[in-house]
């Protein structure tokens, strides 16, 4: 697995990068050889946030944790990522290697079912991103689906945890 480490507002020590690469090497048994991992460390005042994103063929896994020390945040994020792989290994099926199926059931959490509570049909009207954010805020929702007037694609705007906004744009 190819590992890339990036520091935002911080320069990463070589020892942290080596430990991150060594720990992420444990995931090699679950993913094909062409998998890539991106580790991003962001420092804000006394809090350090580590985000780990693993891209594999048709699959993206992400975990983010914050702590006072970047090493602790990395360990927590890695543990969360590992729990997700173990928990959803049956559903991921052929996107993981056969080694994932060999994990003993005793380690795995019970498999949950996805229960759809409500289904809603609505017309997707063309609007700009700014109009979609305004409509989302007026409705009091955390996301809004719309058809972009710029490129005529279905897009979604959402409210981020940091208070900003994001736009999901499908690739064609």
What is the chain's length? 172
pTM of the model: 0.67
Q: Are residues 58 and 95 in the same domain?
A: yes
- pLDDT score at 18: 95
Instruction: Say how many domains are in the chain.
Output: 2
- pLDDT score at 58: 73
Q: Check which CATH number belongs to the domain holding 142 and give it.
A: 3.30.505.50
Q: Are residues 49 and 87 in the same domain?
A: yes
> Is 17 a domain residue?
yes
Q: How far apart are alpha carbons 157 and 45 in whole angstroms?
A: 29
- pLDDT score at 116: 87
Q: Are residues 77 and 143 in the same domain?
A: no
- pLDDT score at 93: 66
- Boundary (domain end) residue, out of 107, 138, 159: 107
DSSP H helical segments within the chain, as ranges?
14-24, 70-87, 89-92, 129-139
Q: Are residues 99 and 134 in the same domain?
A: no
Strand ranges (E), the chain = 2-8, 36-44, 47-56, 59-67, 126-127, 143-148, 154-159, 165-168
Q: Are residues 31 and 65 in the same domain?
A: yes
Q: How far is CA 136 from the centre of its chain?
A: 23
Tokens matching residue 99: 């080694």
Structural domain boundaries, residue 70: 2-107
Tokens matching residue 108: 């795995």
> Is 116 a domain residue?
no
For 18-63, write each residue's pLDDT tens digit.
999 999 998 888 877 788 999 999 998 889 999 999 988 778 889 9
Give 10-residue mean pLDDT values along the chain (172 residues): 91 94 88 87 91 86 93 95 80 60 50 80 89 88 93 93 92 78
- pLDDT score at 115: 85
Q: Are residues 86 and 16 in the same domain?
A: yes
Collapse the DSSP code of 122 into the 3-class scheme (helix H, G, I; strand E, B; otherwise coil) and give the result: coil
> Is 121 a domain residue?
no
Q: Are residues 101 and 130 in the same domain?
A: no
> Is 158 a domain residue?
yes
């Amino acid at each position: 697995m190819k590992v890339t480490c990036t520091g935002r507002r911080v320069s990463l020590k070589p020892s942290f990068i080596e430990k991150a690469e060594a720990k992420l090497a444990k995931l090699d048994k679950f993913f094909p050889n062409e998998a890539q991992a991106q580790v991003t460390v962001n420092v804000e005042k006394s809090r350090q946030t580590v985000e780990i994103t693993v891209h594999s063929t048709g699959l993206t896994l992400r975990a983010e944790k914050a702590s006072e020390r970047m090493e602790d945040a990395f360990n927590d994020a890695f543990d969360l990522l590992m729990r997700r792989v173990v928990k959803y290994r049956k559903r991921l099926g052929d996107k993981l290697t056969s080694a994932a199926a060999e994990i003993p059931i005793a380690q795995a959490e019970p498999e949950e079912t996805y229960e759809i509570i409500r289904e809603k049909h609505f017309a997707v009207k063309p609007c700009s991103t700014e109009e979609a954010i305004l409509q989302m805020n007026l409705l009091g929702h955390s996301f809004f689906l719309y058809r972009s007037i710029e490129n005529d694609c279905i897009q979604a705007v959402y409210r981020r945890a940091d208070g900003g906004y994001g736009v999901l744009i499908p690739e064609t």
